[in-house]
Structure 1
Amino acid sequence: MGYIQKLMLPPTPSAADLLRTYKLPALRRFAQNFLLDPRGTSKFVACAGNIENKFVIEVGPGPGGITRQLFEHGAAQVAAIEKDIRLFPALQ
């Protein structure tokens, strides 16, 4: 397996900043709850066990709070499946 360079990501924006920047109110029809606090999302991802150098599928990533932590915890690749197209810019 080849060497995987650690991603250097900018700090996670606050939920309010992210929602304001991308004009993203949570929609009831999608039952959306955006998890962005790095302390909480890090603990959540840690429960998955060792994901270092693994391929991870994430369903409903929202604006990417957990996605970011998957990479921080060493995931090699993440396939994020999101049905709300308004969230695509935040995930890129």
Structure 2
Amino acid sequence: MTDPDVPDFSELDESDDHQAATDAVKEVVSWYNAQILAERRSPGAGEERLEELKAAREAALLDGARLATADPQEAGRIAALYAARLKELTRP
């Protein structure tokens, strides 16, 4: 039984997981947007590369949409996945 005088921070934790996941997905989508723009502006733009970037961006957008119904564990998994992906994408 929970004590009504003690605040319940479970929603805060869930919100943090969802916010971290949302932020990570947005960063990855932004990276893909920048790459797509650069590819389009590039002389001799590669259609295959452009399609790969667009497909990856679409997958990220779908994962971002899934966050609306994700439980905290799923949100945490998505946050970790996209944080790692962003690190990989931005590695020099």
What TM-score does the superposition give when structure 1 sets the normalisation length?
A: 0.29
Q: Structure with the greater relative contact order (CA < 8 A, sep ≥ 6): 1 or 2?
A: 2
Higher strand share: 1
Higher helix share: 2
What TM-score does the superposition give when structure 2 sets the normalisation length?
A: 0.29
